[in-house]
A = this chain, B = another copy of it.
Amino acid sequence: MTPTTQRSGWAEQAARALTEAGYRRGGARRAILELLDEQACALSAQEIQRALGGRRRAVSRASIYRVMEELEAIGVVQRVELGQGIVRYEAVRRGPGHHHHLVCDRCGRLEPFTDAGLERAISRLSDRVPLKVSVHEIVIHGACRVCAR
């Protein structure tokens, strides 16, 4: 097949997790997993549908939402909402690949960032909180260089 991704085999892990959870194989799921594995940042359902329709295999909206729900349920995908009223999805990765988001509220530009200090603070916090923590999400809003001028 294609060499697909530089970053480990997230898609393979996810596929395995699906199997273990009792799901069968399917073309839509496979296409979606491969696409998500290639992304550096979060995609909306619409973006996913377009990307898959262009190259690869077309997938219906219904399948996208359904598969995303399954992937989120088994913990390999995270929904993120970055302030434009639409839901985005991205692969959950540990270590490298794990990131958060900078959003330009004027042009909508989206950029990932990482920060060790922040992760440390969150990790410490996670133990003190009245919640069995699954994932966290940090969004920094502002004006990007172009828009701030």
Residue numbers of A with Cβ under 8 A of B are 79, 81-83, 85, 87, 102, 104-105, 111, 113, 115, 117-118, 120-122, 124-126, 129-145, 148
User: Given contacts A83-B81, A138-B136, is CB(A144)–CB(B129) below 8 Å?
Assistant: no
- Cβ contact of A140, chosen from B117, B126, B141, cutoff 8 A: B126
27 pairs, A vs B, C-beta closer than 8 Å: A81-B81, A81-B83, A81-B85, A83-B137, A85-B87, A102-B130, A102-B131, A111-B131, A113-B125, A113-B129, A117-B121, A117-B124, A118-B121, A118-B122, A125-B140, A129-B140, A131-B148, A132-B143, A133-B140, A133-B142, A134-B141, A134-B142, A135-B141, A136-B139, A137-B139, A137-B141, A138-B138
Number of identical monomers bound together in the oligomeric complex: 2
Residue of B with least CB distance to A148: B132
A-B pairs, 6 with minimum CB distance: A81-B81, A131-B142, A133-B142, A132-B148, A117-B121, A121-B121
User: Which residues of B lie under 8 Å from residue A102 when comparing CB positions?
Assistant: 129-131
How far, in whole Å, are A125 and B138 apart by their CA atoms in the complex?
12
Instruction: List B contacts of A126 (CB < 8 A).
Output: 140
- Residue on B nearest A73 in the bound complex, by CB: B105
